[in-house]
Amino acid sequence: MTLNILDDKDGIRFGVFKCLQTDKVYTISSTLSTHPNSQPSYLDKAHKAIDTIKREDGMLKKMSRRELRARFTNVEEIIPKLK
């Protein structure tokens, strides 16, 4: 069974996840809406967001929800350990 990082409504399933294709851990560090302020907020859609992804080696990358859906098709959730 493969699990995509995005759900059916383009929401992010996990904040921290492991890509099973590359065996690397990724963290969603921020999300920016690209919805213009001149339009009503109820028209804002999740697929218009730009997310910043941080890989375990420190590399940062900005990706749209469309890019996330295509790139991360086989992931599993990583549950952080409490200290």
Domain count, the chain: 1
Residue 22 lies in a domain: yes
Residue 56 lies in a domain: yes
Q: In this structure, what are the phi and psi dihedrals at residue 11, rounded to the nearest 5 degrees?
A: -90, 150
Average pLDDT over residues 41-58: 85
Q: How confident is the model at residue 44 (pLDDT cuts 50, 70, 90)?
A: low
pLDDT of residue 36: 79
Q: How confident is the model at residue 1 (pLDDT cuts 50, 70, 90)?
A: low
The reported pTM is 0.83
Residue 2 lies in a domain: no
Residue 36 lies in a domain: yes
Residue 27 belongs to domain spanning: 16-77
Residue 8 lies in a domain: no
